[in-house]
Structures are given as structure tokens and as C-alpha cells.
Structure 1
Amino acid sequence: MEKVKIYVFLFDGFSDWEIAYLTPEIKRNELADLIFFSKDDKPIKSMGGLTVVPDEALKNIKPDNIDLLVLPGGTHWEKGLNNEIEPLTRKVADLDKPIAAICAATTFLGQLGLLNETMHTSNDLNYLKAIAPNYAGEVHYQASLSVSDKKLITANGIAPIEFTREVLKMMGLYNEEELNKWYQLYKHGIWEE
């Protein structure tokens, strides 16, 4: 069985904690490959000060190879500084492949119009509308920690555990029982044998 390929876009100032539960679960899962990429393949610094060397540069990423595109948050989205990812994001969406965005990255999807016809969340509806003037999906907004609808996963910036759960579920990396045990452990500190 071929592994699913999960691509995570990194940039200077990305919110490292928002993918801190997700990336280890993908990395250790035998069903998935995790690929970190950035605008170029030069080292970048996370918001928390971690220096990360991406696996690939954006120019080398082929949308057909992506099974899931992950967009972590960070203030670059609010400042419009990650626009180089727009063509790839649109192509992934056009190919009807999943995209997962958390925190400020949800504003990018809103700006691109990708939230207009699907249920979604963000840090707050007014925040989303203020940062993404082209956003027109207010009727589909859910005041939830994380929302999965169609091929999109969106999450509030304070919901990295819920975000991870939705990704693991959508990509079929855990069965329902495993996923529930994982969630109970990381969300509530309950260990079940």
C-alpha cells in the first residue's frame, strides 16, 4: 500500500505549537510520509525560535503528489506575506485534495474564496472578515474549535489537538477506537489500555 503524502508549508514565524501534536503522529505513522517545504529550502525560524531546515522548496512541489496540504498559522498570513503559496493551494483545491489550515492560515483560505461553500471555523468570525476582505462564507462559519467539511479542515489557533484529530481522521491514519484513545490522552490526560 502506498503511503499518503502530507505536505506542511513552513515559513519564518510559523506557529510551531499549532502543528506540534500533528507532525509527530504523522511522522511515526507507517501509513504516511511527512514532507516539510518552504518558499525555498533555506533554514527558517518558527515563532518559538526553532530553526527548521525544510525538505523541499516550493518550486519542486507537484500538486499531484500531495494527499494533504497543511497550513500552520503565523502572523505572515495576516500581513499577506505568504502569497507565493497561492498557486499551489488553488491547484490542490482544484484537484479536490484535502487542505488543513489552523489559526491565521484560515484567513488565507477565506481570502482565496475556499471557505465560501463549506462549513469552517477560524479564530473568530470578525477576525476572519477583517483579515480576509474577499471572504464571503459567513453563513457557513461555525464557532467551533475545529471543523472538517468536504475536503477542508479548519481550526482555531487554540485547538491543535482538535486539528490533529481531524487530520488523522480524514487521512485514515487511525481507526475510530485508536483516535478516541489518542484524543482522550492528549485532551484530558486519560490513558486507556
Structure 2
Amino acid sequence: MKYAYAYVLDTMADWELGFVIAELNSGQYFKSRGSRIPVKMVGASNRPITTKGGMTILPDLTVDEITHETSAILLLPGADNWNDPEHAPVVEKAKQLLDVGGNVAAICGATTALANSGLLDDRQHTSNSLEYLTLFCPTYKGAACYKDEKIVADGSNLITTGAAGGLLLAREVIALLDLFKNETLEAWYNYFNTGDCKYFYTMMETLQESNSSIRN
């Protein structure tokens, strides 16, 4: 069984992972009907954390329990206290996963943790801005690899985006893991990006086509 591991920490921006967690855990639009990628909440310890939105989350496991063999992707949300030393183990876990071909997606403040650790020095990436990284990451040396884009997939297994990239993050994770049909993903993204119901109906049609193919 492969899991999506979502790191949780006090002050985390709970909304930033909302789209991707919902789609991975439910599997409602997967091209392989009836499948899903369960989401496990990972903490620095087993203690409950409180999100910026005031929700209390009890971790399912700790960082040391993550393995490459069971990891579909490691999701790193933004938060106000990424510079706390207790979060160093998950940054090291991200490095271990990337080194062996595992998948990591980081948004907003999580990119500063990766930048400070040197993980972005030689990988294409983005964040809230280049100025943001240089201001908050004194050891950052990855400016040459910075892309002034809303989201960047490193060409392999690292996805980075800024604070407003929650929907884009979900789209790129879904694409990386090859979970939706291409036309389903396009309609899904367009619907939530624009709110235009025509894209919702298009998405439903792509799912009906999948079911029809299975029956035939």
C-alpha cells in the first residue's frame, strides 16, 4: 500500500493542502475506479498540533516511520515556524526520498525549509518570490535554479509553489502520480479555477466514458 504523507505542524496553513488531500484520499475522480491513496498525517512527535485555522490534528505517525517503499508522496505545507529545529528530521526525510526517486511537494513556507537545507541549490524550484527566499533563507544558494513561475515541477519528483498555489499543487501532484485521465484532470482544474459549471459537466462526462469502457 502506498500512502501520501502530509506533514503537520503548529500554525500550518491548513487550506494549502486541502485540494490535494481530498482528491488523493477519496479517489473520487481516479481513472482507476475504486482506488485511492490514503493520506497519513505525520508529525515531529505524536502530540496534537493546531493549524492556523484552529483545527486540531493528531498525527497518525512520526517522521521516522516513513519509508520510500510506502511513500507515494510527501506533502509539506506552509507554516510560521519551519525554522524550529524539531522539523529538521522531515527535511532530512525529504532529502532521502528525493535521493532515491521519491516524490516531494512543498508549498509556501515549506520551501524555505528546503532552501535552508540546500535541497534547492541544484533543483529547479519556485516559492513566493526569489526575494522571499533570499530574505528568509540565509544559507540559500539556489538563485540560479529559481523560476519566476506559479509552480515548478523539477522535471522529476519535486514540486514547489507559493502560498496561492494550493490548487496548482493538487493538479501537479495528481499528474505526477498519474491518477486522473488527462481530460478529467484538465476539466477538474478548470472547474475549480474558474467556477464555470461547464467544466464540471465535462469532468463528469470523462468519468462516464471511463465507466463505459470498463463495462465494454
Deviations 1:88-142 (A, max 9, x none): 1221122121110000101111122222222211011011112222222212211
Worse-matched range after superposition: 79-88 or 130-139: 79-88
User: Following the alignment from structure 1 to structure 2, what is the Cα–Cα distance between the partners of residues 75 and 40?
Assistant: 18
Task: Name which of 159, 162, 168 aligns with 1:162.
Answer: 168
The correspondence of residues 93-132 of structure 1 with structure 2, limited to 5 A, is 93-132=98-137
Deviations 1:52-104 (A, max 9, x none): 11211223223432121110010112555522323312211221211100001
For residue 153 of structure 1, report the CA deviation from its aligned partner: 0.3
Aligned with 1:77: secondary structure? coil
In structure 2, list runs of 5 or more residues that go unmatched.
28-34, 202-216
For residue 176 of structure 1, report the CA deviation from its aligned partner: 1.1
- Where has structure 1 moved over 4 Å in runs of 4 or more? 78-81
Alignment partner, residue 176 of structure 1: 182
Alignment partner, residue 25 of structure 1: 23
The residue type equivalent to 1:54 in the other structure is: P
Aligned with 1:6: secondary structure? strand
Conservation of the 8 A alpha-carbon contact between 1:4 and 1:31: no
The TM-score with structure 1 as length reference comes to 0.92
Aligned with 2:38: secondary structure? strand
**How many residues are aligned here?**
191
User: Following the alignment from structure 1 to structure 2, what is the Cα–Cα distance between the partners of residues 112 and 67?
Assistant: 22
Task: Name which of 88, 94, 103 aligns with 1:89.
Answer: 94
Aligned with 2:4: secondary structure? strand
Conservation of the 8 A alpha-carbon contact between 2:12 and 2:77: yes
Worse-matched range after superposition: 41-50 or 87-96: 87-96
Alignment partner, residue 14 of structure 2: 16
Task: Name which of 74, 77, 100 aligns with 1:69.
Answer: 74
Aligned with 1:187: secondary structure? helix
Tell me whether 1:41 sits opposite 2:43 in the alignment: no
Aligned with 1:18: secondary structure? helix
The residue type equivalent to 2:4 in the other structure is: I
The TM-score with structure 2 as length reference comes to 0.82
Tell me whether 1:188 sits opposite 2:177 in the alignment: no
For residue 16 of structure 1, report the CA deviation from its aligned partner: 0.3
Alignment partner, residue 208 of structure 2: none
Which structure has more helix as a fraction of its residues? 2
Worse-matched range after superposition: 71-80 or 18-27: 71-80
For the pair shown, the structure with the greater C-alpha radius of gyration is 2
User: Following the alignment from structure 2 to structure 1, what is the Cα–Cα distance between the partners of residues 38 and 51?
Assistant: 22
User: Following the alignment from structure 1 to structure 2, what is the Cα–Cα distance between the partners of residues 190 and 32?
Assistant: 28
User: Following the alignment from structure 2 to structure 1, what is the Cα–Cα distance between the partners of residues 95 and 153?
Assistant: 18
